[in-house]
Amino acid sequence: MSAEILRIPGFSEAGSFLIPSQISYEPDGRFFIGNQIPEKASAEAGLFRWMKRYISLRSPYLLRIGDTRIDACRAAEDFLHAVTAAVFGAVGDRPDELLISVPVESFEHYSEWLLNGMRRFDDIHVRLTDEAAAAAAGYGLTLHPGDTLLVVDFGGSTLQAVCVSVMEEAVQGRCCRVLGKAGAGIGGMTLDRWIFEEALKRTGYPENDLRVRSGSGELLRYCENFKKRLSAAETAEFDFFPDRSFRMARTDLEGLFRDHGLFDVLDHTMNEALRTAEDRGLRRDRLTAVVPVGGSCLVPSVREYIESAYPSGMTLQGEPLGAVARGAAVIAGGMHIYDFIQHDYAIRTTDPLTGAYVFRTIVRKGTKFPESRVTPKMKLKASYDGQTRYGIAVYELKEEDVPAIQMNEIFFGEDGSARVLPLTEAESRAEKLFWMNEQNPLFLSSDVPGEKGIPRFEVSFGIDGNKMLTVTALDAVSGRSILNEYPVVRLV
């Protein structure tokens, strides 16, 4: 199946299909997106960028537009709805289905927000697929059954590596199966931030200087363009501050990235994806190709590092920016991706001796689905006498052995100015532990009041074909069925 990438006039960059992930609000409530923004003189004060990253962090950051405060979720929904409506207009029809790609290293709250945010189009079925798997399908137009690819997707806000095997099915035809994957919370915006900080260091301007604060958004865009200029030339002049300009070589930029641990994270992420694939029988010497996708793979030192990590000629010389969109279209057309669960999941219980919370893992990373039972049956006891409502707190756990390099993030004030600030304790914790069903933890009820410490229900967990964690529950006293594969939360 072939796929065509659309250019949306006004939204897309000149001569490109890319739409910058940014939205700018006017005081009267209107907004502009993508390439419309540079044309607006008032864009700076109401500019929202990197929404996906802020949503993943569950950041409280807000923009003040007149009397209204807009958070990342609202901004991203406005952006997606505008783009989707423009696509409908370009093709002249409303499709039956929308397929949206998501990062491999995304938590459930991001996926759920995305699905909920697209419910405005209630007559269209919305489903999700991994960005990295979609990229493999995009390059899969020239693949053959039996090929195994390592896709390195380094975009604006995330780094993902996924090992994909191309398989043959008698009915479905060619398809991909995910063997191993890994991700890290680093992207092109992180590189821009490092250049931002280096520029302030070299010019001697403090971050809280009024000149820096008032032009911080413009300075960040300059840093992004400076990165692109050094990707095309050996040296470039950084003259955002004309009175304190400096010249920087491409090798200096490479050193800056190395000092911040970029290549350590690249190495860890690629090797973790391959290690997981080896657990599923892949031999590294059977790897067919390495596929770089995403705009950050256009940075020469990044591309060269990926190429140097594998035998000569293994890294494909393709067009990295359109692979995900093209592949998602192929998947929507019928290509199937065989996947597995990306994170560990646990339920929260109480230690009877200390009273402290402890976490019992019920789904391990790498579990295939659908699976009718992922754990042995367990007893659910009453916490106090007379209890009639019961629940299970389900948590998503993130591995903590990725090299730690991001101590700061760029945040914008309500006036649109940018600041480099450390992550708060809550934001750091949000990247490692997430209570998935916090809004609906109580879903079991009993007509007979319970007695403290006495088992009231017998429960088991499964995963259905849509990655939903399901609960089957029996009354521990009567043996009567209470719930049968009741969907609790969607897994990643």
Residue ranges of the domains in the chain?
344-393+437-490
Ramachandran angles phi, psi of 59, nearest 5°? -70, 140
Place of tokens 């950050």: 296
* Per-residue H/E/C for 84-100: HHHHHHHHCCCCCEEEE
Q: What integer pLDDT is reported at residue 287 of this predicted model?
A: 92
For residues 267-287, average pLDDT: 92
Beta strands in 212-371 (DSSP E): 235-238, 246-249, 289-293, 337-338, 344-350, 357-363
Q: Which of 110-119, 311-320, 329-338 has the lowest mean pLDDT?
A: 329-338
Q: What is the pLDDT of residues 15-43, one digit of tens each?
A: 788 888 889 998 888 899 988 886 544 44
Question: 99 pLDDT exceeds 60?
Answer: yes
Question: 402 pLDDT exceeds 50?
Answer: no
Burial status of residue 468 (CB atoms within 10 A of its CB: 0-12, 13-18, 19 or more)? middle
Report d(CA 150, CA 316) in Å as an integer.
10
Q: What integer pLDDT is reported at residue 320 of this predicted model?
A: 87
Q: Which of 198-202, 247-251, 272-276, 430-434 has the lowest mean pLDDT?
A: 430-434
Question: 252 pLDDT exceeds 70?
Answer: yes
Burial status of residue 188 (CB atoms within 10 A of its CB: 0-12, 13-18, 19 or more)? buried
The number of CA neighbours under 13 Å toward the Cβ of 486 is: 16
Question: 244 pLDDT exceeds 60?
Answer: yes
SS3 383: coil
Q: In this structure, what token pair is assigned to residue 463?
A: 């995963």
Q: Which of 165-174, 197-206, 294-303 has the lowest mean pLDDT?
A: 165-174
Report d(CA 18, CA 298) in Å as an integer.
14
Question: 45 pLDDT exceeds 60?
Answer: yes
User: Percentage of residues in the chain with pLDDT exceeding 70?
Assistant: 86
For residues 429-443, average pLDDT: 74
Q: Which of 30-44, 109-123, 274-288 has the lowest mean pLDDT?
A: 30-44
Q: What integer pLDDT is reported at residue 106 of this predicted model?
A: 64
* Angle (deg, nearest 10), helices 250-259 and 216-232: 120
Q: In this structure, what token pair is assigned to residue 57?
A: 């962090």
Q: What integer pLDDT is reported at residue 478 of this predicted model?
A: 85
- Contacts of residue 52, defined as CB under 8 A and 6 or more positions apart, other chains included, come to 21, 76, 103, 110, 156, 157, 158
| Contact criterion met (CB below 8 Å) for 315 and 297 | no
Question: 152 pLDDT exceeds 90?
Answer: yes
Interstrand relation of 394-397 and 389-391 (parallel, antiparallel or unpaired): unpaired
Q: What integer pLDDT is reported at residue 382 of this predicted model?
A: 85
Rg of the chain, C-alpha, whole Å? 24
* Structural element, H or E, at residue 159: strand 159-169
Which CATH class name applies to 344-393+437-490?
mainly beta
**113-134 burial, b for 16+ CB within 10 Å, e for fewer?**
bbeebbeeeeeeebebbbbbbb
Q: What is the full DSSP assignment across 169-186?
A: ETTTEEEEEEEEEEEES-
Q: What integer pLDDT is reported at residue 436 of this predicted model?
A: 85
Q: Average model confidence (pLDDT) for the chain?
A: 82
Q: What integer pLDDT is reported at residue 171 of this predicted model?
A: 33
CA distances for 319 relative to 224, 295, 368, angstroms: 20, 10, 32
Q: What integer pLDDT is reported at residue 412 of this predicted model?
A: 47
Q: Which of 216-225, 250-259, 422-431 has the lowest mean pLDDT?
A: 422-431
For residues 86-92, average pLDDT: 86
Give the residue, 1 or 113, on which the prediction is more confident: 113
For residues 109-116, average pLDDT: 81
- What count of other Cβ atoms lies within 10 Å of the Cβ of residue 279? 10
Ramachandran angles phi, psi of 480, nearest 5°? -75, 140
Return the DSSP state at 34: G
For residues 376-396, average pLDDT: 86
For residues 350-355, average pLDDT: 77
Looking at residue 478, its amino acid is S
Instruction: With CA atoms as reference, report the closest residue to 48 among 159, 189, 185, 208.
Output: 189
Return the DSSP state at 385: T
Question: 14 pLDDT exceeds 90?
Answer: no
Q: What is the full DSSP assignment across 279-318?
A: HTT--GGG--EEEEESGGGGSHHHHHHHHHTS-TT-B---
Q: What share of the chain is helix, strand, coil (3-state, %, to 5)?
A: 30, 30, 40
